Amino acid sequence: MTNPPQKPIDEMLTTNKEQSSYYAHTRSRGSLATRLWRSARHRLEQLNAAAGISTSVDQGQLDWLGDLSNKSVLDLGCGTGNPLSLTLAARCNRYLAIDLSTDNIQSMRKRLASAGHPHAAAEVIDFLSPTFVDMFDVIYARAVLHHFRYFDDFLQVLYAHLNPGGAVVSYDPLQTHLGVRFIRTLYRPFQSDRDWEFPFSRATFPIIQKYFAIEKVQGVFGYAKWALPLALVSQDAAQQLAKGLHQRDLRDATALNANVYGCMHVSMLLRRLPDV
């Protein structure tokens, strides 16, 4: 594979610096619309956790990956630790967590040290930097892939860091449902972090398939999203409804079809194609 054009990469490297600076400040930073959006997203995450949705999705990703005892794993955009970070570190042969934030990496190092994983490391690294040349068997990308404006160029870099037959496990927001797309379109002009937020559309998936086979798909908050309005009235009732509806998502939203396109998020297992 030829290297991607440098101009898009340079622009995304600049954007990554802006993103790092933005998140280095208090979480209250941003426009009023962004703060309200963040609050709504926090409510969604609370319902996600309370209904056991996030746990089932995480377990599904572990099942997809199988035995990692001889594998090298990159935790891309680890923050202070993603849901599977310590589990992956414990199960693999070599583990590297990277993030743009020094504070996040310091926290991640403490967590790895406390867990007793001498084969695991955490470093402040920009994944797009030409000086970062490591190769991995697995890249864990929790809420990461949708942060890149020039998605095709980013995927070329992602591909280049995987060993033959390597896999990416991802989790990202979708805007393929008409209602979700309408709300996001209204919000977009007022969004403080819009320069690095690009939720997936239907057009995203053919780009992914240029470099990766989409082996597994799990849509999240498809049927279950209809429990969200109920949460304004009763958290307990919303939790029970979301649990039941999530089972329908687990059953039906497992391929690139209308059921997945009706979801708010998508989890995927991507397998590196032979040289492209």
What class does CATH assign to 6-272? alpha beta
Per-residue confidence (pLDDT) for residue 126, from 0 to 100: 97
The CA distance from 48 to 51, in Å, is: 6
CA 182 vs CA 107, 145, 174, 186, 193: distances in Å: 37, 22, 12, 6, 18
Q: What is the reported pTM?
A: 0.94
Q: What is the percent of the chain where pLDDT is above 70?
A: 97
The CA distance from 79 to 70, in Å, is: 25
Angle 58-52-236 (CA atoms, 0-180°, nearest 5)? Answer: 160
Per-residue confidence (pLDDT) for residue 27, from 0 to 100: 56
Average pLDDT, the chain: 94
Over residues 251-272, the mean pLDDT reads 97
Structure-model confidence comparison of residues 95 and 231, the more confident one: 95
Q: What is the pLDDT of residues 11-29, one digit of tens each?
A: 999 999 999 888 877 555 6
Contacts of 138 by beta carbon, 8 Å cutoff, 6+ apart: 65, 68, 71, 72, 73, 74, 88, 92, 166, 167, 168, 169
On the question of pLDDT at 269 being above 70, the answer is yes
Could you give the 3-state DSSP secondary structure of residue 141? strand
Q: What is the pLDDT of residues 132-151, one digit of tens each?
A: 999 999 999 999 999 999 99
Per-residue confidence (pLDDT) for residue 264, from 0 to 100: 96
Residue 220: strand pairing partners: 265
Residue at 215: amino acid letter:
E
Over residues 223-249, the mean pLDDT reads 93
The CA distance from 134 to 129, in Å, is: 11
